[in-house]
Amino acid sequence: MSWIFLLIAGFAEIGSVMSLKQADGFKKLLPSIACIIFGSLSFYFLSLSLISLPVGTAYAIWTGIGSVGSVLAGMILFNESRSIGRILLIMCIIVGVVGIKMTS
């Protein structure tokens, strides 16, 4: 279950960051509330995963999911740059996360 909790935490982190973008510096109420809820869920599920996963592994994978997911969501939802450099660097993060998972 710890790995499932970690995946949920990572996806909630993406939701938190996307809501934060929409909150416009916490000036918009609903995205601000969504950011707080997603952020709280992210930390809650991360804490559940840490019961049985090593902290370094869990944190690296959680931040990897959040980073890659946020960049991809930004490309899709906010028409952010899709340069080959960004895509190659995202792939480096993915390789690093998979490597950490395989060695833990």
**Is the distance from CB of 89 to CB of 46 less than 8 angstroms?**
no
Write the pLDDT tens digit of every residue in 49-92. Answer: 999 999 999 999 999 999 999 999 999 999 999 999 999 999 99
Residue closest to 71 by CA, chosen among 33, 26, 17, 20: 17
pTM: 0.90
